[in-house]
Structure 1
Amino acid sequence: MTTYLAEDNIRAYKDEYVNSPILSTYQVMADLVKEFGGEKARIGVEMGGYYYSARAHADLIRALPLADFVDADLLVNWIRLVKSPAELSLMRQAGRIADAAIKRAVDTADAGVRECDLAAAVYHQQISGTPEFGGNYDASALHLCIGERALAPHAAWNDKPLPASTTINIEVHGNRLRYQVNLSRTILIGKPSPAYQKLSEIAVEALNAGLETVCPGRTCSEVQGAFAQALARHGMSKEARVGYPIGLGYPPAVGERTASLRKGDETVLRPGMCFHMMPGLWLDDMSIAITQPFAVTESGYEPLSSTPRALFVK
């Protein structure tokens, strides 16, 4: 039901192989390879694949001792880096779901609301989507960093009520038919201090500087460099990458593990590439996360979300 393959090309294996500490489904796969004359073939495997374990590799090479195995990790991912027009259409829809999830978070967050209830509201929105199209489960857990936990890039929620004054860094995931757009915003309950308001303005200025550099022919490193220069004007720096490619997403992550918006990455931008630019700033005593997913176009970039790039104050 989930593939276009002909019925003859779909093979099942016995239930006794499921979660067996003794039997390996890779023996079944090896038998199929032999059936198609591949016993001595040159076979590419994804050595860094999330679901291709060390045991899986050992089982496969033991079952096909005459085959020549080579590491073909990311071979497909580099092809996936440039999205087709049909894929871009789904990414735009995923972005609208992400926008709806951020709006739901902003509308729900308030003093006295339990963190778990805020998370539940966001999950409801992510899955229900928009009136035009529904969403789906995301490729990674909702990141809800509150109070002291806002000083960490990723954190989970608890069941404590939100205090009258606190910082909320949230990353939501709009997922449309497995195509996912990530989006982060900071929500502040209470009045921001002048220093924190200034930090939010610096973060947005640097983010925009990076985005304005995006165009075909430029490199990922140049985008990061524009962001870094804007940040440096305020005496600040960020050593980590400021973006990663997004697209088709299954747990545990949506990142394609290929190009990154970081210093030294000379990957040339091409129309159809999609990134989550996520230049969050985590300092010793405060943090902020205002991000922008985008697609590279023929002349620049297309935002994949329309949520204002700003600090939300409740």
Structure 2
Amino acid sequence: MKKQLPFERGEFAARLSAVKKEMAKRGIDVLLLSEPPNQNYLTGYDSLSFYTPQMVIVTLNHDEPIWIARLMERPHAAMGTYLADDNIRTYPDEYVNSHAGLSAYDVMADLVKELGGEKARIGVEMGGYYYSARAHADLVRALPLAEFIDADLLVNWIRIVKSPAELVYMRQAGRVADAMVRRAFDTIEPGVRECDIAAAVYHQQISGTPEFGGGYDSSCLFFGAGERALTPHPQWTDKPLPASTTIYMEAHGVRLRYQVNLARTIVVGKPSAPYQKFTEIAIEALNVGLESVRSGRTCSEIQAAYAQALARHGYEKEARLGYSQGIGYPPASAERTASLRKGDNTVLQSGMCFHMMAALWLEDRSICITQPFVVTNDGHEPLTSTSRTLVVK
């Protein structure tokens, strides 16, 4: 089968080298990766197969990672990863949702033993979305002589800094997000059903741009009109838009699993003067936060600049200001690493990507105008070009 890889082999080699270096630093002999973004990062594997047990295994003394999942997924792994055939392993389908007491993790444990890891220090992603209590219990039972180490976020912290090749896809994902938001602006009119607007936005998400297509996102389109615009994660209904309403929407542009989030508030009808002022305050604070971004500053310092700008007008944002993002798989695009919030002393580095979620959700009103960006040595580069303004239809 012909390999279909999003990056050159050297890109994957550099990633693997960085992971092995961190493993050695922590005294980890074998690393079991259950999180789809980390599996993708190290091998290129991309298939919606993670609802069944699958792992990427990294050992210090093995040249390549080893991928293991159910048998039917092998062709995709053969095409979508750079791995040699012997490093693509499978287990029979009888282990999937078995009612006979079979555990796929027994097969994975046997593979660990084959790699010399029977008595090893084994790192696992204890906080991962796809590493269940049952998975851990089965592995501990099957490898009683091994020592299990919590290696959650080991790979996440490495992939927080994007390579130049990754930034190409992040910029393209940003262009898809721009196209999705423009499609929403063009479709929103009084009388149009919310679900029809969502359908148009989803069409744009998959269609992408004339130069390249898009993909599915890590969660879903957030779309709420009227009172539901006061909530951060609303979904559309089949109700037609009234002649006057407020809409909150967050779109997710995706390019080869790299995701960029972008949110806007749209007003149908004429916004009141107090709401216009509220919007201006939110945009001012967002811009102050963005202007404070540069390599060498901490996440906490960025949040403080934004918070001070809000405080001058008597407002406070309780939730974090933003989060790092890159490769996105369900259920979330955030990398679970750095957040733009008070007390997060992560030092910004050139190549880190964030979604500055400068949204204010109050009991009686909300405004959400956000900006995804990549950190540069002397500032930031916006990943989208949609104007940071309130949209009035």
TM range (shorter): over 0.9
Candidates 4, 7, 10, aligned match of 2:88:
10
Aligned residues: 314
Q: Which amino acid aligns with 1:216?
A: S
Q: Which amino acid aligns with 2:360?
A: L
Q: Which amino acid aligns with 2:158?
A: I
What is the rounded CA distance, in whole Å, between the counterparts of 2:226 and 2:82 in structure 1? 48
Q: Structure 1-normalised TM-score?
A: 0.99
| Aligned twin of 1:246 | 325
| Aligned twin of 2:217 | 138
Counting only pairs closer than 5 Å after superposition, residues 1-314 of structure 1 correspond to structure 2 as 1-21=79-99, 22-314=101-393
Q: CA RMSD in A?
A: 0.7
Normalized per residue, the structure richer in strand is: 2
Deviation at 1:247, TM superposition (A): 0.2
Deviation at 1:2, TM superposition (A): 1.5
Three-state SS of the structure 2 residue aligned to 1:258 is: strand
Ranges in structure 2 where 5+ consecutive residues have no aligned partner? 1-78
* 1:103-141 Cα shifts (integer Å, max 9, x gaps): 000110111111110110000001100000000000111
What is the rounded CA distance, in whole Å, between the counterparts of 2:364 and 2:277 in structure 1? 14
Three-state SS of the structure 1 residue aligned to 2:90 is: coil
The list of structure 1 runs, each at least 4 consecutive aligned residues, that deviate by more than 3 angstroms after superposition, is: none
Q: Which amino acid aligns with 1:113?
A: V
What is the rounded CA distance, in whole Å, between the counterparts of 1:10 and 1:284 in structure 2? 52
What is the rounded CA distance, in whole Å, between the counterparts of 1:299 and 1:183 in structure 2? 23
Q: Which amino acid aligns with 1:17?
A: Y
Q: Which amino acid aligns with 2:342?
A: K
Higher relative contact order (CA 8 A, sep 6+): 1
Three-state SS of the structure 1 residue aligned to 2:349 is: coil
Q: Which amino acid aligns with 1:181?
A: V
Three-state SS of the structure 2 residue aligned to 1:225 is: helix
Three-state SS of the structure 1 residue aligned to 2:110 is: helix
Deviation at 1:146, TM superposition (A): 1.2
Three-state SS of the structure 2 residue aligned to 1:51 is: coil
Ranges in structure 1 where 5+ consecutive residues have no aligned partner? none
Three-state SS of the structure 1 residue aligned to 2:304 is: helix
What is the rounded CA distance, in whole Å, between the counterparts of 2:350 and 2:115 in structure 1? 38
Seq. identity, %? 75
